[in-house]
Amino acid sequence: MSKKLSEDEKERRKIERQLRSDEKAVQNEIKPPVDKYGAKILRILREEAPAHPEIKYNSTYFEERFNVANITIMRATSKLRKNHLIKDKQVHGSYVIDEKFEDFYTQHYSEEIQKNLNLIASLGGVLQQFKNTPLFENVADLIYLLQPEIAKNDDVFSSGRVIVSPQMEYSIDQRNWDRVYEAIQKNHKLRFRYTKPYTNNEARRTVWPYQLILDNGTVYLFAYSEYADLVLLYDLNYMTEVVVMNEEFKLPKDFDINNYSGGGRLGAFKGEKIEKFKIRFTGYAKDWIKEHKWADDQTYKEEEDATIVSFQSSQFERVLELLLSWGRQAEPLAPARLVKRWKDEVLAMAELVKKS
């Protein structure tokens, strides 16, 4: 009897699995998952097409743009239609986003999707600081893939209630980015010329690429230089003749640039010498600095009309830069070379004022 029941149980589970499979197949037929080309098409129709009515955004256009077979585009657009994301018929020879919230679609426009759209809108706002970078492009494509319904919501990337204020724009050599990123993914060495004015433009550099770092409008490669026997930062826009070598390297455990800042938290800058800094802030700055962390071990000492901040960092030049940005509200107390550099800069600026 127990054996018969066991067989019955197996059969019952088999039937349940088949039912789940059939249900999933039906659901995928009614509302199939959007593929990567469908996501890209949605993004182009939302962000580019309105500004270019002269272009026919049809299957031929996307076939040539993505360099894929026409059947690939037809599959992608079929899925978009079944999800009510583009209209069934083209308009003036172009695919068009279906912005109507029809009864069928409204029933499937769940509360979870609504929450996701709000989250994505805010995420898009935060991502604006990386506008014009391949990182932004890749993440935007991924968002359209994971949540294609954002195409229904105009200006979703600028409609969030959590955003980043206007930032310095990035200008990136796309070919350099692609080659450097490929080398990072493979842990392959890179060879290039570095063409900044103070460098030897004839010399080639061979490096082990650790990280790409986006900082204040500039993209840096953080890498170990075989020539200098140091880890250094290279501005991507000053790299020429970039070649991904076939030679691999072993990525060290402490490759992250955060391990080279000496506890400082002031962006893409590394130094060899960890120093103890002490700065007196007055005016508005004395309260502002208590809410902002320049280093991991930052401590404060309160005076009647000032706050003295102490911390350790190897980011000397960045500390000096921020110190000067506060004008008369910031005075360096240590180390001695920071005090000297600060005085030299202030006196030099005073000379410019005299001449003006």
* DSSP string covering 107-174: HH--HHHHHHHHHHHHHHHHHGGGTTSHHHHHHHHHHHHH-GGGGGSTTGGG--SS-----PPP---H
Residue with tokens 């796309």: 174
H or E stretch covering 39: helix 36-47
- Position with higher pLDDT, 54 vs 19: 54
- Separation of CA 232 from chain center: 21
Statement: residue 160 has pLDDT above 70: no
Assign 61 a pLDDT band (cuts: 50, 70, 90). very high
pLDDT at 24 over 80: no
User: What integer pLDDT is reported at residue 343 of this predicted model?
Assistant: 96
| Cβ within 8 Å of residue 266, ≥6 positions away | 294, 313, 315, 318, 319, 322
Helix residue ranges, H only, 153-261:
174-186
Burial class for 328, CB neighbours closer than 10 Å (0-12, 13-18, 19+): exposed
* Amino acid (1-letter code) at residue 103: D
Max mean pLDDT range (100-109, 249-258, 320-329) = 320-329
Confidence bin at 72 (pLDDT 50/70/90): very high
Rounded CA-CA distance 126/167 in Å is 11
Most confidently modeled of 93-97, 100-104, 126-130? 93-97
Which of the two residues, 117 and 226, has the higher pLDDT score?
Answer: 226
Q: Is the pLDDT of residue 2 over 60?
A: no
* Confidence tier at 261 by pLDDT (50, 70, 90): confident
The alpha carbon torsion through 224, 225, 226, 227 (nearest 10 deg) reads -160
Which residue, among 99, 92, 98, has the nearest Cα to 56 in the 3D structure? 92
- What number of H helices and E strands is found in the chain? 11, 9
pTM for the full predicted model? 0.64
Q: Which residue has the higher pLDDT, 100 or 137?
A: 137
Residue 102 pLDDT level (bands cut at 50, 70, 90): very low
The pLDDT of residue 29: 53
Query: In what helix (H) or strand (E) does residue 355 lie, and over which residues does it extend?
Result: helix 336-355
Closest CA to 321 of 272, 269, 280: 269
* Residue 1's pLDDT band (cuts 50, 70, 90): very low
Question: Is the link from the previous residue into 32 a cis peptide, with omega within 30 of 0?
Answer: no
What residue has token string 């953080």?
222
